[in-house]
Amino acid sequence: MNFVNLKRSEWECYIDTPDSIIETINTHLSDIFKCESDPVEAQRLSYEFLFLYKEWGFGDSEPMQALTTVSVT
């Protein structure tokens, strides 16, 4: 997996989440997956990063599941 490009509906984050937040998350997660060779560490870093956006719902179980699905495909 080299590029994350999930839509709001796929992340299942809050409906009022700005597009810029979703783009930032997709970009940063793409960078993590490109740079980290250890899949366990990549997932840990990704969860840690995603939780920074919990005010937009990214700390909830649905976005965490979306991240898990993306990281294993």
pLDDT digits (tens, 9 = 90+) for 29-59: 999 999 999 989 999 999 999 999 999 999 9
Tokens of 62: 């649905």
Place of tokens 């495909």: 73
Cβ 73 vs Cβ 3: under 8 Å: no
Dist CA 45 CA 25 (whole Å): 12
- Name the band, by pLDDT with cuts 50, 70 and 90, for residue 69: confident
Tell me, yes or no, if the pTM score tops 0.85.
Answer: yes
- Name the band, by pLDDT with cuts 50, 70 and 90, for residue 73: low
- Name the band, by pLDDT with cuts 50, 70 and 90, for residue 2: low
Length of the chain: 73
CA distances from 20 to 24, 25, 46 (A): 6, 9, 18
The greatest distance separating any two alpha carbons of the chain, rounded to the nearest whole angstrom, comes to 34
